[in-house]
Structure formats: C-alpha cells, structure tokens
Structure 1
C-alpha cells in the first residue's frame, strides 16, 4: 500500500491535501519531508526555527507499540519547536481524546489564544482545529506560535494552490486568528 492511501484510510477528506499537492511540495521544496514505512506516514516541513507536522499516521494495527513516540522523539532531537494541527476533543470520537492524551504525554501545549479554521479546497468544508506545540527552547508563547503558523500556512497550505486546485485558500490572517482579546492580532 502506498503512503497516500494510508493517509486516506484515516484522515477525513476535508483535512487532506491532494496527492499532487504533497508530491509537488516534496519535489520542489527542500523543507518538506516524507518519512514512511508499512507502519506509519509522517509528512513535515522543517523551517530554520520550527517543524510543522502536516500529517502523522500510525496504522491502527500497529498502534500502542511506541511508533508515534519514536517519530515525535526523532523530530524533538532536531532541537526545534514542533507545531501541529489537531481536531479538538469530541465526546463522540474517542480518537480525538486518545490523540490529545498522546500529545499531552509528549509535553505538547495547546495554543489557547489561536483560533484556526482550515478550509478544504477539495470539499469546500471548514474545520476548526487546535494548534498544539512542543517548545524546545522554553521561550515560545501563543504570539510566537501564531507567527510561525502564518509562515507555515503561506509556505505549505497555500503552496501553488491555484495551479493545484484552481482555487485559493483564505489569506493566512483570515484563517488564523489571535483570540486573546477576541480580536485578530493585527487589529
């Protein structure tokens, strides 16, 4: 089975990029990486000061064997802040609770002041996601994570979007809001 088919088994369509989008990032951007086996898929962007985990999947039958922990620790060894998007806890979906407990055990924090709505150019759906981060330096805060999310959004999520989807995502500041005071950071 190929790595994209593995992602499609787990991630809802509205959270996925197309295979062409991912292949184009892998081929054209020296900061975008794929790590995969029959047991897992990890796609991430490594910037000078942080890593963005775009997708991490461990095959269901291989879970609870430490594979996810090994993948996260491999990234932690790079000594950079790690950022990822996660579905908020949903009482009707036990996977969300398990996933959030995993990241909590791995010392990830939730960026409480950031509101992020991911817009799918495939389905047109909008999904609210939490931003989680592991702070390598002890100096990160929601403002610094917000700025990193803006950079990631512009360099990963919207990369060649019109060429690949014949459409555009909302501008970064329209999709990602700093909500400490209920207003956008730039207001």
Structure 2
C-alpha cells in the first residue's frame, strides 16, 4: 500500500522507512486516524455511498493498490491497476471548491498515463452539487459510459444507482470499461463483504451490465 499523507506526517513516515521498518496494520491505522480522513468523507458522502471504516481498513491493509492521497483541502481514495485507476472517493473541502484543487488532483492522476474510471451520481434536482460534479468531469473530458450500475448498500439496503464515467488518452470500448468495473466491484466494493457486513454480496451480473445488451434483457 502506498500512503500519501499530510505534510506534518511525512517526516514520521519517512523516518520509519529509512530505518527499514515496515508500515504494519497498526501503524497504517495510526496514520489514517491522525488525518481524520474517514470522518471527512462521512460528513460529505451520503451513507448509501460509504463503506464502513472496517471495510476501508481491510482494503488498505490487504489490497496493495487501494490507496489514499490526502492534503489539507482534498482527499482521494483510489484503486490502481496496471492499465487503469478507479477513483472510489474524491473530496475537495467546501471552502476550496472552485479554486482549481480538483483539477490539480485529476491532472496528477492523469499524469500516470492510465485510463481513469469513476462512479458519478446522476443529476438530481434535490442535490444542486450533482450537476456541478457531472459538469466538472465533462470539462475534464470524462465520457459517460452506456453501462448500467445498481448496487444495494451493505448496511442501509438502499438501492444506489450511479453513472460510470471514463477518461483515457486512447480510445477504449464500453466493454473494456465494463470488464474493469466488474473487477473493481469484486476487488473493492464486494471484497470480504460477508466477513465485514454479514451478508452475501450481490452477483456482479445484477450490479453491472451494458445497457440494451442481451445480458441485461436476459435478467
């Protein structure tokens, strides 16, 4: 796991790494709890979109490419693979929105040269920020995929419908994005769900499909 932390924490982490000491689970938890990243996410995102703290910690400890990038005015939680990056959560503090912070963060991820996939809440009249989020990603050349995505929350049992957006330097097909989203669902959203929440995860075929495809019509 890679940890990018607040400036005041970097000296501590760097010193440990210079000593050759490993960042074990207890230390990872200490660094994260110091930064208050979980509470900041929970205050902004609706419960139906949040993972439990235990789920986050297991992902950080066991999925090496599930990572946290954090600064005083932003938080990004993402899952990085060889050919893509999935942004699980991105948050820019309210007072810093509209100042280019989100663009800087996205450009930093784009500089890795990989496709970027993310889930975006559809525009909703009850949530003025929903349209702002969609327009923000469109300005950064993210394209909405014709992919259906409906997931039942592991705690609230609410049905959460999201749109899938993708940015890539070279063209990718919707089938390519769908295949990566299936991997993301299995390795991130549904990872150890039975152990953490005491319920079986939904089959991936119920969660993701190409709209209008035979796969969906058969369900």
Q: TM-score range by the shorter chain?
A: over 0.9
For 1:137, which of 170, 177, 180 is the aligned residue?
Answer: 170
Identify if the C-alpha distance between structure 1 residues 46 and 185 changes in structure 2 by more than 3 Å, giving closer, same or farther: farther
* Conserved 8 A contact 1:178-1:185: no
**Residue of structure 2 in register with 1:92 after alignment:** 126
Deviations 1:55-107 (A, max 9, x none): 00111111111111111111101111100001001122210110001000000
Shift, 1:2, TM fit? 0.5
Shift, 1:115, TM fit? 0.6
Do structure 1's residue 22 and structure 2's residue 56 form an aligned pair? yes
Separation of aligned partners in 2, 1:170 and 1:144: 21
Partner SS state of residue 184, structure 1: helix
Partner SS state of residue 117, structure 1: strand
Deviations 1:37-69 (A, max 9, x none): 221110000011111000001111111111111
Identify if the C-alpha distance between structure 1 residues 91 and 182 changes in structure 2 by more than 3 Å, giving closer, same or farther: farther
**Residue of structure 1 in register with 2:117 after alignment:** 83
**Residue of structure 1 in register with 2:205 after alignment:** 173
Separation of aligned partners in 2, 1:74 and 1:178: 30
Flag structure 1 segments of 5+ consecutive residues without an equivalent: none
Flag structure 2 segments of 5+ consecutive residues without an equivalent: 1-34
Separation of aligned partners in 2, 1:18 and 1:36: 19
Shift, 1:183, TM fit? 4.0
For 1:127, which of 146, 160, 175 is the aligned residue?
Answer: 160
Separation of aligned partners in 2, 1:92 and 1:175: 25
Partner SS state of residue 132, structure 1: strand
Separation of aligned partners in 2, 1:57 and 1:94: 16
Partner SS state of residue 216, structure 2: coil
What TM-score does the superposition give when structure 2 sets the normalisation length? Answer: 0.80
Separation of aligned partners in 1, 2:151 and 2:96: 29
Do structure 1's residue 50 and structure 2's residue 84 form an aligned pair? yes
Shift, 1:184, TM fit? 2.5
**Residue of structure 1 in register with 2:99 after alignment:** 65
**Residue of structure 1 in register with 2:4 after alignment:** none
Q: Structure 1 segments of 4 or more deviating over 6 A? A: none
What TM-score does the superposition give when structure 1 sets the normalisation length? Answer: 0.94
In the alignment of these two chains, the number of paired residues is 185
